[in-house]
Amino acid sequence: MKVHYRPERGLWESLCARPRINTEGLNDIIFSIIENVCLKGDEALLQYCEKYDGVRPSSLTVTPAEFEEAAASVPDSLKKAIATARKNIEKFHFSIMSPDPSMVVISTGISCRAKYVPIERAGLYVPGGSAPLFSTVLMLGIPARLAGCSDIILCTPPQKDGKVNDVILYTARLLGIDRVYKVGGAQAIAAMAFGTQTIPKVNKIFGPGNRFVTKAKELVQQYGTAIDMPAGPSEVLVIADKSANPSFVAADLLSQAEHGPDSQVILLSDSPELIEKAIGETNDQLTTLPRKETAEISLRNSHAILLNSLEECVEFSNLYAPEHLIINCKNYNSIADKIKSAGSVFLGPYSCESTGDYAAGPNHTLPTGGFAQSISGLTADSFRKQIFFQEVTEEGLALIGPAVTEMAEAEELKAHSNAVKIRFRKE
């Protein structure tokens, strides 16, 4: 982990840069996968399963028997934990759902309203590689159900035995999602965007993934399939003062570093002692991790930065716009009030980022790579769209018409102007 002592402001921008992975040829690879899926459909998906997942499933579709077998294999203690997480996530997302607003009278004869309509067919992508993320099923499936999506499909990579991870299947069935397909990677995104013999075309694709998945989502968007957000490598930024427990700080940094070699962790503090102790703890805890090698690579691209004050820490954090922000300071609430850009914020010494990943309530599908400057994390509203309605009576058009015709003619759109005037023309 690189340590920086009171860097000049002119260097902050470079310190906010995310790790860069060689993407040469990535576009060509993803375009080739998309084209192959469009041309060959299911056969292409089976070929890619064999190539990338090391197995060629007899069927892409998860059967009812496989759901039952998966449920039987999940321990009761894990089922109870998933039920707790489900309850909290549902409660959070339900609490922030806005009801359909009623008709608003703009002026005499003019009334408007907006109607929320669920996306009809939502496509969920759940990573299932080295760490099958069944928690992502909860984070995507619960808001999709609350939003009222009538058709939800889920794609996830098969394991070497040709089956989907048991806990992913159990969690999907728990939420009433029974259309699950054994396909992952860019090919899964292509299948949901364009449809195959087995997998239906969806209206919008949701969920995190590796750089191949992210690039595929970006590319299919050009062909008319909406996506939730650009979701790149995971990241956390911790603001800690001298009151913070260094072992807590270290554990929080490592919880993100173990996600992947391209993950990034940032520690900001106004205390040189805290930084020194936290780095020591990080090195000690690292030796005990099963994913030690992954975390080590991540830490090479990460920074511990000593700044002159907590105010400067907040400024740097807002510039970085982290996916996850942990404020482990004595006066964390006053600092939180100054945060302008972050995906999800964790307040105080016991709000570890792990709670947000699993069971606290807010979503763990969040903007990365600085996108928290402009977009928000996933909610039930992400699975809905708004349709606007306006009703203008004859009296209302008489009042607003002169302004409309004046503006239309100033833009040299004569037909727009005529659409108003013709309604008052004497026969």
Active-site positions read 323-324
How many other C-beta atoms lie within 10 A of the C-beta of residue 37?
29
Cα–Cα distances (Å) from 214 to 189, 333, 356, in that order, read: 9, 34, 22
Amino acid identity at 386: Q
Amino acid identity at 26: L
Q: Which of 96, 115, 95 is closest to 104 using CA atoms?
A: 115
d(CA 423, CA 415): 13
Q: Which two tokens stand for residue 87?
A: 């309850």
The shares of helix, strand and coil residues in the chain, as percent rounded to the nearest 5, are 45, 15, 35
Strand order in the sheet with 324-328: 2-5, 303-306, 264-269, 235-240, 324-328, 344-347
φ, ψ (nearest 5 deg) of residue 218: -60, -40
Between CA 304 and CA 310, with CA 306 as vertex, the angle to 5 degrees is 115
Q: Which of 199, 238, 194, 236 is closest to 216 using CA atoms?
A: 194
d(CA 179, CA 125): 12
DSSP string, 254-306: HHHHTT-TT-EEEEEES-HHHHHHHHHHHHHHHTT-TTHHHHHHHHHT-EEEE
The angle, 0 to 180 degrees and rounded to 10, between the axes of the packed helices 211-221 and 185-194 is: 20
Let me know if 100 is exposed, middle or buried by CB neighbors in 10 A (0-12, 13-18, 19+): exposed
